[in-house]
Amino acid sequence: MATLKQIIQREVNPFDSVTFTTGNFWTENNQSTVATVESIHQSAINQVQNTLECVIKDSRTRSILMSGDSGCGKSYLLSRLKKTLNDRAFFVYIEPCLVEGYIWRHTLRHTVDGLMHIPEGEKESQLLLWLKGLSAYKDGGLKKKILGAKNHFIHELRSIYPTGIYQPRDFFAVLYSLANRDLYFSACDWLRGNSLSEEELKLLGVNSVIDTEEAAKGIIANFGRISTDNKPIILCFDQVELSARLSDNSLDISPIFNVNTAFHNNNLKNFIIIISIVHHIWMKCQNTIPLSDLARINNQKIVLQQINLEQVKALWANRLYPIHSQVNPKPISPIAPLNEQKLEDKYPGGKANLRSSLSFGGILYEKYKSTDPIKPPPPPTAFKLLWQNEFNKTKNQITRIRQLSSPELIEMLISAMNVLGIKQIKQHFLTGKYSSYSFSYKSLNESKQVGILWNEDSNLKSFSFAMKACYKALNSNKNSTLIMIRSESLGKTNNQGYKLYNKIFNNFSNHHIKSSLESVYYLKTYQKLKNDAGSGDLVLNFEPLSLTELEKLVLETEVLHECLLLQDLKIVPPIIIPPPPFPPVKEFLLNLVKHHHILGQQILIKQAKSQFAEVEEVQIENLIQELVQEQKICLINPKAKPEERIIALIT
């Protein structure tokens, strides 16, 4: 068996930032769960468990404010809670709401998205488990046979809840449709607030759509009013410090707390609301929150503290265990090759920030891996690896453009254009209902104002209203041009919306661009990294990466330049020369060797395969040989067995 030194030379650094990025506990990579240490924040776990037991007993909704420094383990704790309480509650992760006046629709969309996930050990989604837990769904005997299953279900729910349900007929009909495999996703889309096509609405047996704040609030209230015979739902509002900003650019976190108060004032049952925020932001902003909202979270507060050095060593041991398991005999120290004395020297007070202690472990690991003093990899190299990892996670999370609302897509596009240097961006080119679907900016080459509308509503009536709003805006702004981004159908030629579309886009100065899912991946990846940088959660080369540093790296690496939508908008130059086969894979292989300096060939192949599943292993091996022939990397021991071969960077 190989020695510890030999194994470490082959392996990637288990403390590297790519392996412990934080965020949505449903979509995090599996490696982050390896670092679970039961004692870390155990008192907080106990407090939430006790709160859950109270909700299970009396169904009364409760709220918890969770705060702590950046890197203290807030997202880590949310993930622990989901894993620990998975059998007793349904879990929902809610990203920060970046769109002003959109908090209820944002909350509803993420609630349904979270409930669509399949929990560990189950075969069905949380939403279906919740549905089948309702007493009205269970066998109703003779009455069910007479009325039919669907009518019986609706009749039972209307009998139990004769008042207090928002749009009861439509809501109950959609709930029943969830159990129909062919209608499941349409039913979920209706609950999420998507503007469905007339055909989908007809199949569901409904007439309405959930397209206002009041309607979204009503649907969330429905979940609370009929769920008392079910497991509680835990709503986790994370990174609240990144909420939408007011017109003067000041942070506005009050909408989250207003939502929380509404849960209590409207007597919504069976929820636990966890609001996670960076501690110093909370101390600074709490005075901006109405006293009535503050009163709803004063009794339940969790302030996460630093961890002790025994817990740090346990974290290190968990990260190093896969490496130790390959060594025989196993190292005496569970944290070998890391040095306990250096840990005590680094933190003389005996306490450490969770994330910074992992970063320190990574630095010590890198120093041990090479006897020669090696400079850390250049930031662009490390950033490209981080970007690729986040990009692939985004691809796994988003399978349809309609998973994101138009206001969210607009906000993501604005963020990307801002970092690429587009000036004078103004929210709301349109007025009325579709204002949040739009924005405007000054063209780089012309003095004209360019209006952008991104509308993916499949409902053609909605599309027609959007076209009317565009027509009105263009008449009010004679020196403006319009670009509509839309991949959904435009309808038939005799439809009112299509006629207006033709009238607007027959003008050579206005353009229609078809959006692609791949372009959304680029925008969403940047938005996620931007959020993490803004909350202090983004780490590169074992150091926190600020938003300014992130923006600089995005420009330097040109990672957004491959986004076809940004090319079509002429924000970035088009790619004229077709790229050679597998360029991202080859670049990834080289960047990974640059990042780690020395790696096992099989580990390099395994890492590439994890990022590019569609590429065959033999193709990856050929790309490695190309890099060897180009004298960018070398095989230290080419005659060794494949699993023992070591690749090094040629400097």
CB 643 within 8 A of CB 636: no
pLDDT tens, 328-358?
A: 888 999 999 999 999 999 999 999 999 999 9
pLDDT tens, 160-209?
A: 888 889 999 999 999 999 989 999 999 999 999 999 999 999 999 998 89
pLDDT tens, 88-104?
A: 999 999 999 988 889 99
CB 218 within 8 A of CB 166: yes
Q: How confident is the model at residue 251 (pLDDT cuts 50, 70, 90)?
A: confident
Q: How confident is the model at residue 24 (pLDDT cuts 50, 70, 90)?
A: low
Query: In the prediction, which pLDDT does 262 show?
Result: 94
Which amino acid is present at 355?
R
pLDDT tens, 447-481?
A: 788 999 999 999 999 999 999 999 999 998 888 99
The residue whose two tokens read 């998975």 is 86
Cα separation, 83 vs 356, in Å, equals 24
- Read off the pLDDT of each residue in 202-227 and give the average, rounded to a whole number: 92
- If one compares 315 and 245, the residue with the highest pLDDT of the two is 315
CB 66 within 8 A of CB 74: yes
Inform me whether the pLDDT recorded for 46 exceeds 80: yes
Query: In the prediction, which pLDDT does 141 show?
Result: 45
Inform me whether the pLDDT recorded for 364 exceeds 80: yes
Cα separation, 453 vs 469, in Å, equals 10
Query: In the prediction, which pLDDT does 605 show?
Result: 95
- If one compares 142 and 211, the residue with the highest pLDDT of the two is 211
Inform me whether the pLDDT recorded for 136 exceeds 90: no
Tell me: cis bond preceding 337? Omega within 30 of 0 counts: yes
- Read off the pLDDT of each residue in 207-226 and give the average, rounded to a whole number: 92
Q: What angle do CA 64, 69, 419 make, to 5 degrees?
A: 105
Query: In the prediction, which pLDDT does 32 show?
Result: 45
Q: How confident is the model at residue 508 (pLDDT cuts 50, 70, 90)?
A: confident
The count of C-alpha atoms lying within 13 angstroms of the C-alpha of 136, restricted to the half-sphere facing its C-beta, is 21
Inform me whether the pLDDT recorded for 399 exceeds 60: yes
pLDDT tens, 572-581?
A: 998 776 666 6
Beta strands 449-454; 480-485: pairing state: parallel
How much of the chain, in percent, has pLDDT values that exceed 90? 69
CB 174 within 8 A of CB 204: yes
> DSSP assignment, residue 28?
S
Cα separation, 408 vs 560, in Å, equals 18
Query: In the prediction, which pLDDT does 28 show?
Result: 57
pLDDT tens, 566-610?
A: 999 999 998 776 666 667 899 999 999 999 889 999 999 999 998
Q: What are phi and psi of 192, to 5 degrees?
A: -75, -20
Closest listed residue to residue 13, CA positions, set 525, 392, 540, 614: 540
The residue whose two tokens read 């970092």 is 419
The residue whose two tokens read 């940088």 is 533
How much of the chain, in percent, has pLDDT values that exceed 70? 93
The residue whose two tokens read 């894979």 is 585
Query: In the prediction, which pLDDT does 147 show?
Result: 42
The mean predicted confidence, pLDDT, of the chain is: 89
Please, what are the domains in the chain?
Answer: 4-9+308-374 (no CATH), 135-212 (no CATH), 376-575 (no CATH), 583-649 (1.10.10.10)
Query: In the prediction, which pLDDT does 314 show?
Result: 96
pLDDT tens, 54-75?
A: 999 999 999 999 999 999 999 8
Collect all residues with Cβ–Cβ distance below 8 Å to 5 and sequence separation of at least 6.
337
Query: In the prediction, which pLDDT does 190 show?
Result: 97
Report residue 439 as tokens.
């924005």
Kindly report the number of other CB atoms within 10 A of residue 313's CB atom. 19
Query: In the prediction, which pLDDT does 157 show?
Result: 86
- Read off the pLDDT of each residue in 386-412 and give the average, rounded to a whole number: 93
Query: In the prediction, which pLDDT does 34 show?
Result: 46
Which amino acid is present at 563?
C
Inform me whether the pLDDT recorded for 22 exceeds 60: no
Q: Which residues of 497-523 are buried (b: 16+ CB within 10 A; e: fewer)?
A: bbebbeebbeeeebeebebeeebbbbb
**What 3-state class would DSSP assign to 158?**
helix
CB 262 within 8 A of CB 252: no
Query: In the prediction, which pLDDT does 163 show?
Result: 86
**What 3-state class would DSSP assign to 575?**
coil
